[in-house]
Amino acid sequence: MSDDLRVIQTDSPPAEGACRTQGFGSPLQLSEEHDLCPGCGEPVALRAILDAVETLDLAQRAIGVVGIGCYTALTSLIDLDLIQALHGRAPSVATGAKRMRPDSLLFTLQGDGDMVNEGLQEVIHAAARGENVTCILLNNGVFGETGGHMTATTVLGQRTKNSLEGRDAAYHGHPILIADLLSRLGGAGYVARASVHDAPGVARARRYLERAFESQMKGEGFSFVEILTMCPTGWFVPTAEGPGYLDDVLAPIHQLGELKRDGALVEPD
Amino acid sequence: MSGVEIRGTLVIDGERCKGCELCIPACPPAVLRMSEARNGSGYAYPELLPGCTGCGACLMVCPDFCFEVYRYDEPIVLEGGTP
């Protein structure tokens, strides 16, 4: 039998004898249409966030504060209350919202350019004060929306629009490992770093997000989840090689795993 | 000749696909492949061959929300060799 004859009809659901286990998007999504590049990791991370909110049944209490970046275009897909913050200022906006509505689930959605370049002091002070909010960082090492130049988290050797030969420590300085930095602050209760480069990674990202949200609802202080996302456009790699590039180049520096849990540092294995 | 057990299936929205191919290596039984045909935007899109387990790994890694996952109540056995 030739392969073409063996392709299964996938235009419509099976007529009978099967149940739908997962839909196209999360139940908290208004739409599945977006204009981000092929192979982008940010919609994958968005789904993990919405799935975590849905799993914990916190949708009615959730308020998101969104920074500026490619992911800002995804806000039209999200069926949650959202506040648009100025570039980098989401942790401070979230601080105010959480203090006025202490029963709500407050999370920020920020990129590395937004959080670590534009608003580094905001997130550090929010963590040091022990604000009871969850900051979520989508880290791909480039300012994707404004053209793909280097950010403070770009790893040494990574090519971007203004580090075409790779980031050079002598010329560009060293990357800031923000999750490691925040985990050392006393106000932080939960800090973890995940990725979305493969299915087990996405499952882990969901688990960390759920733990961060639970930590916030228990009032354990500042919680932080960094999610490494693919940006094949900004990395100058074919879309199919994005996950491998993340695993080979970003993950050895921004190491995956939980850094702090229940207010105590987690020792690396 | 042994048959192929099919425990699940997909609905694939090929028109929404941007051809990133992330689902191809993500599929544990390796039953997804990219099409020869192109969709309205000019991208190849995934096609399903027999052997889906309904695990949903493709859906988890897809940035464009192109997959819907179904699981059969009773597995189907398709005669005609291994995939």
- What residue in B sits closest to A46 (Cα-Cα)? B63
Tell me how many domains chain B contains. Answer: 1
Helices (H), A74-198: 90-100, 112, 120-129, 169-172, 178-183
Rounded CA-CA distance A244/A198 in Å is 9
Which of A243, B24, B13, A197 lies closest to B34, judged by CA? B24
Domain contains B47: yes
**Which residues 47-66 of B have a C-beta within 8 angstroms of A?**
47-50, 52, 54, 56-57, 59-66
Query: How many Å lie between the alpha carbon of A213 and the closest alpha carbon of chain B?
Result: 20
CATH number at residue B63: 3.30.70.20
pLDDT digits (tens, 9 = 90+) for A191-211: 999 999 999 999 999 999 999
> Cβ contact (<8 Å) for B11 and A10?
yes
User: Do the chains contact at A24 and B65, CB–CB below 8 Å?
Assistant: yes
What pLDDT score was predicted for residue A138?
A: 97
- CA of B83, closest CA in chain A: separation in Å? 9
Instruction: Give chain A's domains with CATH numbers.
Output: 36-261 (3.40.50.970)
Q: How far apart are CA A200 and CA A225, in angstroms?
A: 16
Domain with B10 in it: 4-78
Answer yes or no: do A47 and B16 touch at CB < 8 A: no
pLDDT at A185 over 60: yes
- pLDDT tens per residue across span A116-127: 999 999 999 999
Shortest Cα distance, chain B CAs vs residue A196, angstroms: 7
Residue B83 falls inside a structural domain: no
- Cβ of residue A42 closer than 8 Å to a chain B Cβ: yes
Among A6-10, A68-72, A244-248, which is the least confidently predicted range? A6-10
Q: Is residue B11 part of a domain?
A: yes
Query: What's the pLDDT at B1?
Result: 46
For the stretch B36-67, pLDDT in tens is: 999 999 999 999 999 999 999 999 999 999 99
What is the SS3 assignment for A84? strand
B73 burial (CB, 10 Å; 0-12 / 13-18 / 19+) is exposed
CA A217 to CA A260: how far, in whole Å?
17
Q: How close does chain A come to B28, measured CA to CA in Å?
A: 10
In chain B, residues with a C-beta closer than 8 Å to the C-beta of A11 are 11-12
What is the rounded CA–CA span in Å between residue B22 and residue A241? 9
Encode pLDDT of B16-39 as tens digits.
999 999 999 999 999 999 999 999
Instruction: Supply the pTM of this predicted model.
Output: 0.94
Q: What percent helix, strand, coil does chain B show, rounded to 5?
A: 10, 35, 55
The length of chain A is 269
**Inter-chain residue contact B65 with A10, CB threshold 8 Å:** no
